[in-house]
A and B are shown apart, each in its own frame.
Chain A
Amino acid sequence: TQLLEQSPQFLSIQEGENLTVYCNSSSVFSSLQWYRQEPGEGPVLLVTVVTGGEVKKLKRLTFQFGDARKDSSLHITAAQTGDTGLYLCAGGLVYNQGGKLIFGQGTELSVKP
C-alpha cells in the first residue's frame, strides 16, 4: 500500500496546455516537498510547503498544501517542453520529523511542441 498516492502517473500534453498533479494520503505530513527529476539524475527540489492551506508560486508552477496537511497539488500553467520530466512529491511524517521522506510514485510529464 502506497502511503502517498500520486496521480496521474503519466501525462502527455501539448505545449501551452495547463495541468495539475495530485498527491494524496491518509496521513498527516509536517511538510511536503516537490522535486523534479531528469533521466539519470537525482531529484532536484522545487518547493517545500509546510502550513495547511499554503500556496506557493514558482513562475508558472503553483503548489498547494491541503488544509489538513494530507494532500498537495502542483499546477503548471502554459506548459513548455522544458517542463518535461518526472515530478515527485515527498513528505515527512509528523511523528518522524528529521527522518525519512515518503515519496509518491511520480508523475512522468511529457510536453510536446
Chain B
Amino acid sequence: DTGVSQDPRHKITKRGQNVTFRCDPISEHNRLYWYRQTLGQGPEFLTYFQNEAQLEKSRLLSDRFSAERPKGSFSTLEIQRTEQGDSAMYLCASSLAGGPYNIQYFGAGTRLSVL
C-alpha cells in the first residue's frame, strides 16, 4: 500500500528559473489537490483535479503557475520564472470522489528554496 508520493523532496533554484514538481496520488483516488505551506502557517489551497479535469483554482495561483493531470493519474505543478516569494513547501493530497467527507491524504511535500 503506497501513499501519496511527491518528487523531488527538496528543490533549490535560482530566481528566474522554472521548476516542476510531480505528485503520484493513492492509486484508487481520483481527486488530487495541490497546497502551498509557508513557515509557521497552515497549508493554503492552490488547485484540484477530479480525474483529468481541473475543477478549481485559487487566486493564489498566478499565471506563472500551471498544473496538469493529463491521464488522471499523476500530476505536475510547474512554476515559471520563480521568485523568492515562491519559496515554500508544496503539498499534494488525494481523495476518493464519492467518499462522504472529503478526507484528504497528504504526501511528504516538496520544499522549494528560491535563491
Query: Which A residues are within 8 Å of any B CB, using their own CB?
Result: 4, 6, 30-31, 33, 35, 40-45, 48, 50, 88, 90, 92, 97-106, 108
Contacting pair A103 B97 (CB below 8 A): no
In-complex Cβ contact of B102 among A41, A101, A103, A105 (8 A):
A101
**Interface size of B in residues (CB-CB distance below 8 Å):** 31
Instruction: Give the distance in Å from the alpha carbon of A105 to the alpha carbon of B111 in the complex.
Output: 19
Residues of A within 8 A of B65 (CB): none
Residues of A within 8 A of B56 (CB): 99-100
Residues of A within 8 A of B31 (CB): 98
Query: Which B residues are within 8 Å of any A CB, using their own CB?
Result: 4, 6, 31, 33, 35, 40-45, 48, 50, 55-56, 58, 91, 93, 95, 97, 100-109, 111
Residues of B within 8 A of A88 (CB): 42-43
Contacting pair B101 A6 (CB below 8 A): no
Residues of A within 8 A of B108 (CB): 40-42
Q: For residue B60, give the distance in angstroms from its CB to the closest CB of chain A.
A: 11
Residues of B within 8 A of A102 (CB): 45
Q: A101-B35, A101-B93, A103-B42 are in contact. List 12 more A-B contacts (CB 8 A).
A: A31-B101, A42-B6, A42-B106, A45-B103, A45-B106, A50-B100, A50-B101, A90-B43, A98-B50, A99-B102, A100-B48, A108-B40
Residues of A within 8 A of B111 (CB): 40
Residues of B within 8 A of A30 (CB): 101-102
Q: For residue B12, give the distance in angstroms from its CB to the closest CB of chain A.
A: 14
Q: Which 10 A-B pairs have the closest CB atoms?
A: A103-B42, A100-B45, A42-B106, A31-B101, A92-B102, A42-B108, A42-B109, A43-B106, A106-B42, A103-B43
Chain B residue, CB-CB nearest to A31: B101
Cross-chain pairs A/B with CB under 8 angstroms, 11 sampled: A33-B104, A42-B4, A42-B91, A42-B106, A42-B107, A44-B106, A48-B103, A50-B100, A101-B45, A103-B35, A106-B40
